[in-house]
Chains A and B, each alone.
Chain A
Amino acid sequence: MAICKNCGVDLGEGNEKCPLCEPSDSRSDRIVTAADLFRLSRIENTRHLYEITMLLLVAGVIITLAIDAVLKRGINWSLMTTTCIGYLIVFISAIYLLRRRPYLVITLATVATLVFLWLLDLLTGHTGWFRSIASPLTVAAALLTAAVLFLNSLSRYRGLNLLATMLVALAIFALITEYLTDRIVSTAYRPQWSVITAASLVIIAMFFIFIHYRMKRGRSLGRLFHI
């Protein structure tokens, strides 16, 4: 009588392997336990959502190109919509396909955003706003997002401390935004609204950090804000 070392059942005469615990099909998407079933159903639901989204976006490109071609006898305004939808396709695909590699998602999303904004600059008369403001803001947003992710990965308990790091990142982003806009408008940096915004955000962040580390350590955001 052979007994499975894992689930403890009698395997019956002539059977060496447990078909439940060691199935012949060794693919990673096989369903062995109840937990696998639920995990794979979530993956399948996400895949369906991604496929439907892609279908709708591609349909949007085809329809706008067709309307433009029929009504205007060429491709004019549809270039703008195609650029926007193309950007969305790349952005969503990066998040869906590389969701387990967040830094790669940020890199790809940053490159896609830069290309998208450059194309928009080209399509709207090439006035140079891409170089002076759009590209530095995009790079700053990407670096700050990566920094938030990195700090979040160091944290054992993710709760209000995550919100705090996001607020600090937003504060820095506000300062950078005003610096860049001041450089364009008046060539001199005169900090005004961004300092007030950043100071307010940092105070709220400090408050969150205090609550997280001194009062409610380990409280998850899901628990705190559940409806």
Chain B
Amino acid sequence: MYIFTAEKRKMGSKGEISGRGEWMKLDNAAKIYPAITGSELTGVFRISVHLTAPVVLPALLKAAEEASKLFPLFSVELCRGFFWYFLEYNGKTPRVMPDSGPRCQPFPRTMNGELLYRVIVRGNTISVEFFHILTDGGGGIFFLKTLLNHYFLYAEAITEMPFPEVKDGPRPGCSEDLFSRHYGKGMPQPAVLPHAWHLPFRLRETPRFRVTELGVPSEKLVLLAREAGSSVTEYLAATMLFVLQEIRTRLGGGSPHIRVQVPFDLRRRYEAETLRNFSLFAMPAIDVRMGHYSFDEILREVKITMQMMTDEKRIKQVISRNVSKEKNPLIRIIPLFIKSPVLRIAYNRFGPSQFTSIVTNMGRVTPTGPAAQLMKAMSVTPPPPHKQIKITAGLISMGVETIITFGSLTGNTELEKNFVQRLTSEGLPVRILTNQQ
């Protein structure tokens, strides 16, 4: 039996949150979020696990309390400094809330004592919602695995952890901002991308954000991708581009560049232990002026771009570009009340113009032991997209099923329908699990 020893853990090495009064800077990826997020563009993502039986609430409450003790770097509130926002430790445990209303609702930007993550529960489903300021999908999954280790201990008295890889909780270095470490001074700027085409669909009335979840058999999906000589991420990014091209061809107009943002985790590459944001993205694209692309041509483009963008030098170049803005003395000395509106305007002008949609793959989660039989599937809800982007997709695999979740701000379901049709035409059975309209 594993023993949880949260109280005995010492996380106090340099730069890590360990006790009251301590604080940390926002990491490079998080810095933009306080300025751009609000009631609709919330910057909140959700990871859910679907169990075979109703969630035992007392066990979940205890598990949330115990798991959160292992994550002092998450027990922080967002505070407003004079030049930048920062995170201050408050030692609180996350709120456990019933699931009501749309997913990924906003966290208040500054409110005394409020943490930037929460546990959501409904029926058989346990979810965690994180504000991107705190961590990315990798950190979110790490916390959810730890929560589930505790939950099954208290709910079912299962002492064999389903996720032994996180039994020790976060490791030293978990709160390090690795973007700063991998910053290289004097690196050339990456090429500026031309504006991308955007879906011209009409926005839904508020609250806009709705999701559609599709279930596909994991093994068949992997087989399909392998047969095409690609990874699942590349295959689905190519499918998204293919579907977008169909819609662009039918509707016409706008930029000829169709581009999909594909985030990738940097932790494995750098063997990093950080639980803060540490991911970048590739931007596979097609230019419809070059003519109609077949699926194989798109897949080749995606593979080339993914390989190129995940090259170490390219990664360093992009990190250096991002961090150099933060290190710019002029930007640093501008007070926050001026910086925030400027950042918001700049983001709205240049941020979403770079890509048409997002496909994010959180990878495969593999539970072990008897508790594995008590978990049916996992799903990830990407943050509500910008009004220009309108539809994004996220996926995660557990057991026999991969769940693809589309988050949408529009009532038009053409993209989702075409995506399903494309997959089924390749012989992949698709189940619609949730369709909030």
Contacts and interface: CB of A to CB of B under 8 A. Distances in A.
A38 B96 contact: no
B47 to A, nearest CB: 15
Contact of A7 (B53, B98, B108, B109): B98
A132 interface: no
Contacts of A41: 108-111, 114
A15 B58 contact: yes
A10 B155 CA distance: 10
Contacts of B335: none
Contact of B101 (A9, A18, A33): A33
Contact of A38 (B105, B121, B203, B345): B105
A34 B57 CA distance: 18
Contacts of B95: 31, 37
A7 B123 contact: yes
A182 interface: no
A184 interface: no
B118 interface: yes
A13 to B, nearest CB: 8
Given A38-B39, A41-B111, A9 B56 contact: yes
A38 B60 CA distance: 24
A35 interface: yes
A34 B106 CA distance: 7
B54 A8 contact: yes
Query: A4, A6, A7, A34 — which one has the most chain B CB atoms within 10 A of its CB?
Result: A34
B59 interface: yes
Query: A7, A35, A223 — which one has the most chain B CB atoms within 10 A of its CB?
Result: A7
A152 to B, nearest CB: 19
Given A9-B56, A19-B57, A34 B120 contact: yes
Contact of A11 (B57, B108, B109): B57
Contacts of A33: 97-98, 100-101, 105
A44 interface: yes
Nearest to B103: A34
A35 B123 contact: no
A34 B7 CA distance: 29
A18 B100 contact: no
Given A34-B118, A37-B114, A227-B345, A12 B98 contact: no
Interface in B68-108: 95-101, 105-108
A3 B109 CA distance: 34
A32 B105 contact: no
A51 B11 CA distance: 39
A198 to B, nearest CB: 36
Given A1-B54, A10-B56, A38-B108, 4 more contacts: A8-B123, A32-B97, A33-B100, A38-B107
Interface of B: 39, 53-61, 95-101, 105-112, 114, 118, 120-124, 129, 203, 345, 348
Top 6 closest A-B pairs, CB basis? A41-B108, A8-B123, A7-B98, A34-B105, A12-B58, A41-B111
23 contacts: A1-B54, A3-B54, A6-B98, A7-B122, A7-B123, A8-B123, A9-B54, A12-B56, A19-B57, A20-B97, A33-B101, A34-B100, A34-B118, A35-B100, A35-B105, A37-B108, A38-B39, A38-B107, A38-B108, A41-B108, A41-B114, A227-B345, A227-B348
